[in-house]
Amino acid sequence: MTGPAGTRATATAPKPAAAKAAPGPPHPTVRALTRALPLTPATVLLLLFLAGPIAYCAYIAFTDLQLTGQAEDSFIGFENFRTAFGDEAFLNAVWLTLVFTVVSALLGQNTLGLALAALMRRASKPVRTLVGGIVVTAWVLPEVVAGFLLYAFFRREGTLNAVLDWLHLPTQNWLYTLPILAVSFANVWRGTAFSMLVYSAALNEIPKEITEAAEMDGAGGWRRMWHITLPMIRRSIGTNLMLITLQTLSVFGLIWVMTRGGPGGKSQTLPLFMYEEAFQKSMIGYGTAVALLLLVVGSLFSVIYLRLLRTEV
């Protein structure tokens, strides 16, 4: 069970006292520390570049730090947060973030992902492979490329309008009239593969006997879905909802490429609002306050996610 004591002692204990102890088994604390040694690089990186910025975030959110013009930033307490909740642009961004998350993640990716996974179980193998490949490709594509593809798709002279025209349906300039819906659909296009993979794995774990028994009892497809499948995969549903919500909360590049948050802030979700305040208006303190709110919301979801997994860690 234990490694050679000599190497450990030389690795951790240059002090003479410890060197003397080398022949016997090392002190439990020394041993624990040596064993924890490989954790150091990762821990240092995480502390410096992840925990550090988060702590710094929590600090500058309470200051009036600006990019230019000001020599010293000063502590202003909750002023940034008060400003935010009285700022129409901020409230607009909160609302749009909510719409974006509900439409694209909860309704779009989640439902479509489940539908795809369920249909795939019945489909023939070539169709399954083809469809899976297409959906996953959309997911693997770099964010910016996905943004362009959907920009082209939704533009006035783009593919969507060409299809609608061909079907004799009314067309419009989607990125101008309904930008938040356009970016939401873009996020569905890009993110559905994740839910599809999660649900495919979950559905595969349902014992066949249970569905077969229900089928014998005469339960139709919808009833089986509602009364058997969904309750059996409810943990996966919870985890999936949590993870796609978190992913959707932090989408930046996709919206940035498609609309830059415009026109007139009509697709400006919180990450884009944060960016604009911090950099285009140079209000780093204010932008960070928004970031902190986003982080707090994310942490809450993250905690719920941990509770969902609690029994398994």
Residues 225-254 that bind another protein (CB under 8 A): 235-236, 239, 242-243, 246, 249-253
**C-alpha distance from residue 237 to each of 30, 101, 231 (Å):** 44, 16, 9
Task: For another protein, give the closer residue by CB, 180 or 285.
Answer: 285
Task: For another protein, give the closer residue by CB, 180 or 202.
Answer: 202
Instruction: Check residue 298 for interaction with another protein (CB under 8 A).
Output: yes
Residues 97-136 that bind another protein (CB under 8 A): 112, 115-116, 119-124, 127-128, 130-131, 134-136
Q: Which residue in 102, 259, 91, 109 sits closest to 183, CA to CA?
A: 259
Which residues make beta-bridge pairs with 235? none
Q: How far is the CB of 227 from another protein (least distance, A)?
A: 19
Task: For another protein, give the closer residue by CB, 164 or 178.
Answer: 164
Q: Quick one: DSSP state of residue 268?
A: -
Which residues make beta-bridge pairs with 63? 75
Retrieve residue 286's tokens.
Answer: 């204010």
How far is it, in rounded angstroms, from Cα 305 to Cα 122?
Answer: 31
Backbone phi, psi, residue 147, to 5°: -60, -45
Residues 21-40 that bind another protein (CB under 8 A): 32, 35-40
How far is it, in rounded angstroms, from Cα 162 to Cα 53?
Answer: 46
Task: For another protein, give the closer residue by CB, 90 or 256.
Answer: 256
Task: For another protein, give the closer residue by CB, 21 or 141.
Answer: 141
Question: Which of 23, 77, 169, 204 lies at the binding interface for another protein (CB under 8 A)?
Answer: 204
Instruction: Check residue 45 for interaction with another protein (CB under 8 A).
Output: yes
Mask: binding to another protein, 136-175, rule CB under 8 A, as x and -?
xxx-xxxxxx--xxx-xx-x-xxx--xx------------
Instruction: Check residue 5 for interaction with another protein (CB under 8 A).
Output: no
Q: Which residue in 247, 149, 143, 150 sits closest to 195, CA to CA?
A: 247
Residue type, 76: I
Instruction: Check residue 271 for interaction with another protein (CB under 8 A).
Output: yes
CB 85 within 8 A of CB 91: yes
Size of the site for another protein (CB under 8 A): 106
Q: How far is the CB of 293 from another protein (least distance, A)?
A: 8
How far is it, in rounded angstroms, from Cα 74 to Cα 62?
Answer: 9
